[in-house]
Amino acid sequence: MTTVAGRAVLDVGRDGGVLTLTMNRPDVLNSLDDELLSALLAAFSAAASDSAVRCVVLTGAGRGFCAGADLSQVSGLGPGSVDGRGVGAALRAHLQEHYRPLISVIRSLDKPVVAAVNGVAAGAGMSLALACDLRVAAESASFLQAFVRIGLVPDAGSTYFLPRLVGMGKAMELAMLGDRISAADALAAGLVNAVVPDAELPSAAGALAARLATGPRSLGLIKRALYASLDSDLPAQLAVEEDLQAQAGDTADFTEGVTAFLSKRPPHFKGR
């Protein structure tokens, strides 16, 4: 847990195999300053090496999910004011230092990551939600590619995730217009998996995460297979499936799955 001036900018909670990370800068809609970015990277990295964690939920405190980069921090960058470099160079360095490792660790984590989108997800905050494997949104949540509104390019993976999730035409519309869309419109576009009443978001996301956290080891391999397909042709993808099935076949969970089926009882997966 990272604490700033007596307050944790990231709350970390555990319930069985579910790790819940709550971004906690509600006064600024959980916008991302360096402290929060570092805390997120540390928490996801720790989850990667903790076999007891079998699913991660990412959510926000207060009325926002995440409003993207903390603009009070970015706007402090005057031309040429950072280590003698221009603002552009500073943005590149900042993306490389913070966002690239964070988005990469979420995508490469060998366990499911669920975004519980409790409010507005803007700019890199929307990218963060899109980096997760599944998204459950509250009815009052909204999404915007805020970058264009301040003269930037979508980053933190949005240009990769968006066309793949919603197709190029819709991705271009969202990125170029920067309009704020509702959770219902996000569901219709394929940006989220489910929309639930605001009060039900914690329980709905929690139930989904609990289900995933009792799933087999192959969940992480399924994640790897599907993401590999985004950059593969069919022959390459068939080879990926063969490799991953070879790994899945060697798991205790596969043995348990087949044994349970033949014994006509529910399986008890251990994530191994």
User: Of 58, 117, 141, 146, which lies in the binding site for ligand T3D, with binding defined by CB under 6 A?
Assistant: 146
User: Of 19, 57, 67, 189, which lies in the binding site for ligand T3D, with binding defined by CB under 6 A?
Assistant: 67
Q: Build a one-symbol-per-residue string for 153-172: x at contacts with ligand T3D by CB under 6 A, - elsewhere.
A: --x-----------------
Query: Nearest-CA neighbor of 88 among 31, 174, 153, 145?
Result: 153
Integer CA distances (angstroms), 263 to 45, 218, 256, 266, 267, in order: 38, 21, 10, 9, 10
Q: Build a one-symbol-per-residue string for 168-207: x at contacts with ligand T3D by CB under 6 A, - elsewhere.
A: ----------------------------------------
Q: How many residues bind ligand T3D (CB under 6 A)?
A: 24
* Residue 62 vs 206, nearer CB to ligand T3D: 62
31 lies in the site for ligand T3D, by CB under 6 A: yes
Q: Long-range contacts made by residues 263-270, C-beta under 8 angstroms, separation at least 24?
A: 267/216, 269/214, 269/215, 269/216, 269/217, 270/217
Listed in sequence order, the residues at least 6 apart from 146 whose beta carbon sits closer than 8 Å to its beta carbon are 67, 68, 122, 123, 126, 178
Give residues 105-144 in contact with ligand T3D (rule: CB under 6 A). Answer: 120, 122-124, 144
Query: Nearest-CA neighbor of 157 among 68, 85, 89, 88?
Result: 68
68 lies in the site for ligand T3D, by CB under 6 A: yes
152 lies in the site for ligand T3D, by CB under 6 A: yes
36 lies in the site for ligand T3D, by CB under 6 A: no
Place of tokens 């007596």: 6
Query: Nearest-CA neighbor of 182 among 137, 148, 149?
Result: 137
SS3 call for 10: strand
Main-chain phi, psi angles of 10, to 5 degrees: -135, 115
* Residue 124 vs 141, nearer CB to ligand T3D: 124
The CB-of-59 to ligand T3D minimum distance in angstroms stands at 16
What are the residues binding ligand T3D (CB under 6 A)?
28-29, 31, 67-72, 74, 91, 94-95, 120, 122-124, 144, 146-147, 149-150, 152, 155
